[in-house]
C-alpha cells in the first residue's frame, strides 16, 4: 500500500538528483521495508537481507524510470491529435526570466533512453 501511494502518477515526475537520492533504498524505502519486516536498526540486520526478506527486486528510482518509459511509449503510439501527444511535442513561445532552465519531462525521458542505448526519434 505504501508503494502504491508513493508511486501515484510517478510516470510524469521530473526528479532532480537530490530528490531521487531521497527515494533511494537507504532512506525512505529502507525505513518502510524495515517496518514491514518487523526489524529495527538495533537488530543490526543489513539492508540487503531486509530486502531479501520482503522480496524487493528493484529500487524505487528504477521503478519510476520504468513507468516513465512505458508512459512515453504509450504517448508515442497515440494519434497525433490527442492532447497528451500535442502537449509532449508542443512548444510555447514565451520568454522567461534569465536563470537556470527548469528540468523538462522530455529531457528526463531522453536521459533515460540514453542510459539504455535507445533512440527516441
Residue 88 contacts residue 106 (beta carbons within 8 Å): yes
Q: How far apart are CA 89 and CA 105, in angstroms?
A: 11
Boundaries of every domain in the chain: 15-57, 62-121
pLDDT of residue 82: 92
Q: Is the pLDDT at 92 greater than 90, yes or no?
A: no
pLDDT of residue 36: 87
Which tens digits make up the pLDDT trace of 51-72? 888 887 667 788 888 999 999 9
Q: How far apart are CA 29 and CA 3, in angstroms?
A: 9
Nine-digit cell string for 29: 524505502
Nine-digit cell string for 116: 539504455
Which tens digits make up the pLDDT trace of 14-59? 888 888 877 766 667 788 888 888 998 889 888 888 888 888 766 7
Q: Is the pLDDT at 74 greater than 90, yes or no?
A: yes
Which bin fits 90, alpha (ψ -120 to 50), beta or left (φ > 0)?
Answer: beta
Half-sphere exposure of 6 (CA within 13 A, CB side): 15
Q: Is the pLDDT at 9 greater than 80, yes or no?
A: yes
Nine-digit cell string for 81: 491529435
Q: How far apart are CA 97 and CA 106, in angstroms?
A: 21
Closest by CA to 16, choosing from 78, 61, 50, is 61
Amino acid at each position: 500500500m505504501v508503494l502504491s501511494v508513493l508511486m501515484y502518477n510517478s510516470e510524469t515526475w521530473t526528479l532532480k538528483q537530490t530528490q531521487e537520492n531521497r527515494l533511494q533504498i537507504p532512506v525512505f524505502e529502507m525505513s518502510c521495508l524495515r517496518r514491514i519486516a518487523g526489524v529495527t536498526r538495533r537488530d543490526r540486520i543489513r539492508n540487503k537481507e531486509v530486502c531479501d526478506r520482503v522480496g524487493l527486486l528493484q529500487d524505487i528510482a528504477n521503478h519510476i524510470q520504468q513507468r516513465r518509459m512505458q508512459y512515453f511509449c504509450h504517448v508515442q503510439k497515440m494519434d497525433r491529435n490527442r492532447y497528451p501527444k500535442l502537449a509532449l511535442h508542443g512548444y510555447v513561445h514565451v520568454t522567461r526570466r534569465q536563470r537556470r532552465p527548469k528540468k523538462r519531462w522530455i529531457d528526463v525521458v531522453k536521459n533515460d533512453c540514453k542510459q539504455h542505448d535507445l533512440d527516441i526519434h
